[in-house]
Chain A
Amino acid sequence: MTPLDKPGAATGLRTGRPRRRRAGAGGRRVVPLPLLLPGLLALAFLLLPLLALLVRAPWRSLPEQLGSTEVWQALQLSLISATAATAVSLVLGVPLAWLLARTDFPGRGLVRALVTLPLVLPPVVGGVALLLALGRNGVVGRWLDAWFGITLPFTTTGVVIAEAFVAMPFLVISVEGTLRAADPRYEEAAATLGASRFTAFRRVTLPLIAPGIAAGAVLAWARALGEFGATITFAGNFPGRTQTMPLSVYLALQNDPEAAIALSLVLLTVSIAVLAALRDRWMTTP
């Protein structure tokens, strides 16, 4: 907002009116250059690599590249595991977000910081950490193996766990922010009507923050879909079981860049399609 646009409190009606009228007659307000130029630059910066991918894509050999069953296997696995990881993140992450936003306990700030740790942790390190925790010989994993005969590495479940580990913080942070912005007095109103805290959460808060949850879920899903480092480290790489699209792209890049580009295009197309569909459906506020 330029200083000229600021409606000065001291300005009387007489000076205020014509200015407003002029602004109305002149049509749109001018977008300030210090915002416009960096904004456009940012847009170009984000779109250019995608554009380059399209320009250099091996369009002619594309049908052949995409004909292999491995591609579809990887894509299918990616979609399933990203969706499952998002579901896990929702079931566990939304309650965690509620705890962080609505309760007060000692060390809450620290817990919040710890929750965001996977955001800054290199995913490969995250994968190693998961191995140390849930691997066959891991801190917890050894008991899973001994008591239930469950081993997680090298399984599709492992892929889901690795993706959820990396994606859940996005959801928690997003939902917690929405919860903090939501008016807690609705929960109080529900309480005076006889609702327990859980009922108030389920029947009042949850519907109110649904758009925020949807946005967080989409973020988490997108992050899970693109997850590479934690997945390959924790779950390994086996076609049809743990080889998701990003793994397949990475390995294809080793000796067949064209195939890698083709795979990337598929991943890109599918994610754009899904995100666009979700946006129309859920992400618009009611």
Chain B
Amino acid sequence: MTHTTPHPDKHLADSTTTGLNARLVVDRPAFRLDVTLTAAPGEVVALLGPNGAGKTTALRALAGLTPLTDGHLHLDGTPLEHTPPESRPVGVVFQDYLLFPHLSALDNVAFGPRCQGVGKAEARARAAAWLDRMGLADHAATRPRRLSGGQAQRVALARALATRPRLLLLDEPLAALDARTRLEVRAGLRRHLAEFEAVSVLVTHDPLDAMVLADRLVVVEHGRVVQQGTPAGIARHPRTDYIARLVGLNLYRGQAAGHTVRLDTGPAVTTTEELSGPAFVAFPPSAVTLFRDRPSGVSARNLWRCEVTGLETHGDRIRADLTGELPLAADLTTVAAAELGLRPGTPVWATVKATQTHAYPA
């Protein structure tokens, strides 16, 4: 999140001559992708969105594997929309890597340069250098099936980078890894992406991956861009339920008048900010306090009658999903949950202090 953009605010201005400037329109039966995407050289953009949002379709369109119905695709000022995938200066790291199982790690990485006409010895030397850079010099002769998940991921990255692409695409680069490997690989990937001088676009449904790896997030839902910005900005001001859930916030939309936001669904939320007109109001689940009986001595003005629909353990805390006057998520300690005797169907009262809510214009 602290990862700074190498060229802040530059991507829009320069995108006509350098970097990526694309409008990707792909029509499918019962689905339409229409996404505008720009990125400056050196920038890492994450396409974030739920499954079926069209992220992978956008990635395939960038790689040339799925033809555009409409729109354009310029990379460093060159139109690529009619260029076949093999002629695009684009490297792809596929979700399950798709390392060629019959080739060694070295030959996998050398494959790209060989296809570009580099001699066999030279291509292998380049591949060896890439593997060395990835810390995989000892595994050059290893077949993909003998590589661990993290090693395979790095070979896939080396293979994509070995063609010296001007656009690097990563499809769910960490999804195939287990939790522990993921942590390690994520850090390594971040370093390599930071070193990469051209545009990187990664697709993920994991907000943590997106926030750690990317300079800028583009949130895609139902084939459209619903929000974009820096990870911090998006986390602070989510504009859809999906993003709010991703960043762990309760998010509501309503009409603000003074310190009160009246929600479209009926109840009102009192806030510290003073606004008017359409507004979002958000608060973290940890700001919610639950009671079995209507609290009497509580000063909070935000008090709603709810019912527990689900309980989920998150580390040492329990996340309770509530319905009722206001659907919300609440975090509480295991001790508190036990004292309250929570189980699905339990009626509860939920309160939130106004100081812990955050309202902003919609």
Are A and B direct contacts in the complex by CB distance below 8 Å? yes
Q: A: which residues have CB within 8 A of B?
A: 183, 185-186, 188-197, 199, 203-204, 207-208, 286
Enumerate chain B residues within 8 angstroms of A189, measured Cβ to Cβ: 92, 94, 98, 100
Max count, chain B CB within 10 A of own CB: residue among A185, A190, A193, A194: A193
Bound CA–CA A186/B90 (angstroms): 16
On whether A193 and B112 interact (CB within 8 A), knowing A185-B94, A188-B85, the answer reads yes
Name A193's closest neighbour in chain B (CB-CB). B112
**Which residues of chain A are within 8 angstroms of B112 by Cβ–Cβ distance?**
193-194
Residue contact B101 to A208, C-beta cutoff 8 Å = yes
Question: Is A194 a contact of B98 with CB atoms below 8 Å?
Answer: no
Interface of A is mostly: helix
Q: Is the CB of B100 within 8 A of A204?
A: yes
A192 touches B115 (CB 8 A): no
**Quick check: A191 and B65 within 8 Å, CB to CB?**
yes
B276: Cβ under 8 A from any A Cβ: no
- CB-based nearest A residue for B117: A194
Q: Which of B146-168 contact A (CB under 8 A)?
A: 159-160, 163
Min CB distance A233 to B, Å, is 42
Whether B102 contacts A207 by the Cβ 8 Å rule is: yes
Asked if A191 and B84 make an inter-chain contact with CB atoms under 8 angstroms apart, the answer reads: yes
Number of A-B pairs, beta carbon distance below 8 Å: 60
Minimum CB–CB distance for A41 against chain B, Å: 40
Can you report 23 A-B residue pairs in the complex whose CB atoms are below 8 A from each other? A185-B98, A186-B98, A188-B63, A188-B98, A189-B94, A189-B98, A190-B115, A191-B64, A191-B86, A192-B63, A192-B64, A192-B65, A192-B90, A192-B92, A193-B86, A193-B112, A193-B115, A194-B86, A194-B87, A194-B116, A195-B115, A208-B101, A286-B102
Known A-B contacts A192-B65, A193-B159, A208-B102; A203 and B111 likewise in contact (beta carbons under 8 Å): yes
* A195 partner residues in chain B, CB cutoff 8 A: 86, 111, 115
Residue of B nearest to A210 (CB): B102
> Which chain B positions have C-beta within 8 A of A199?
115
Given contacts A185-B94, A203-B111, whether A192 and B102 have CB atoms under 8 Å apart is no
List of A residues within 8 angstroms of B159 by Cβ:
193
CA distance A192 to B83 in the complex (A): 12
Separation of A191 and B63 alpha carbons in the complex (Å): 9
In the assembled complex, B54 has its CB within 8 A of some CB on chain A: no
In the complex, B91 has a CB within 8 A of chain A: yes
Known: A190-B111, A193-B160. 18 other contacts (CB 8 A): A185-B94, A186-B98, A186-B100, A188-B65, A188-B98, A189-B94, A189-B100, A191-B84, A191-B85, A192-B88, A192-B92, A193-B112, A193-B163, A196-B86, A197-B86, A203-B111, A208-B102, A286-B102
B116 CB contacts on chain A under 8 angstroms: 194
**Residues of the B chain whose Cβ atoms lie less than 8 Å from the Cβ of A203:** 111
CB-CB nearest in chain B for A207: B102
Among B66-117, those with CB < 8 Å from A are 84-88, 90-92, 94, 98, 100-102, 111-112, 115-116
